[in-house]
Amino acid sequence: MNRRERIQEQLQSVLSLTHLEVTDESHMHNVPAGAESHFKVVVVSESFAEHSLVARHRLVNKALQGEFESGLHAIALHTWTPQEWFEKGGIAPDSPQCMSGSKSN
């Protein structure tokens, strides 16, 4: 099982999800091929309604603690309720270009 699959499995096991997208964006950074170190994660859950943005991110980070300890370097988090997701048209923003060490620089 690769890191993307593990992230999906871990988040599905701790949150009641309406929608989940996990995208490996490592290729956008100056890391070895196959590094699986940088991800974009879109999490939509009704359980977020009772949490601030910071608390939502803390929930996700806690769920992925083992991945951070084993090489996950960064995640771009988008954590929304179903209503917020609907208001955004069901589309997450593109991740910005890496500011240091990007392969495109």
Could you read off the pLDDT of 71-93 as tens digits, one per residue?
888 899 999 999 999 999 999 98
Does some domain include residue 55? yes
Task: Give me the CATH number covering residue 47.
Answer: 3.30.300.90
**Residue 100 or residue 76, greater confidence:** 76
Does some domain include residue 101? no
CB 73 within 8 A of CB 100: no
pTM: predicted TM-score of the whole model, two decimal places: 0.85
Does some domain include residue 61? yes
Q: Tokens for 100?
A: 């240091």
Number of domains in the chain: 1
Does some domain include residue 17? yes
Does some domain include residue 45? yes
Query: What tens digit of pLDDT does each residue of 22-35 get?
Result: 998 887 777 777 67
CB 13 within 8 A of CB 48: no
Dist. CA 8–CA 47, nearest whole Å:
17
Does some domain include residue 49? yes
Structural domain that includes position 75: 3-87
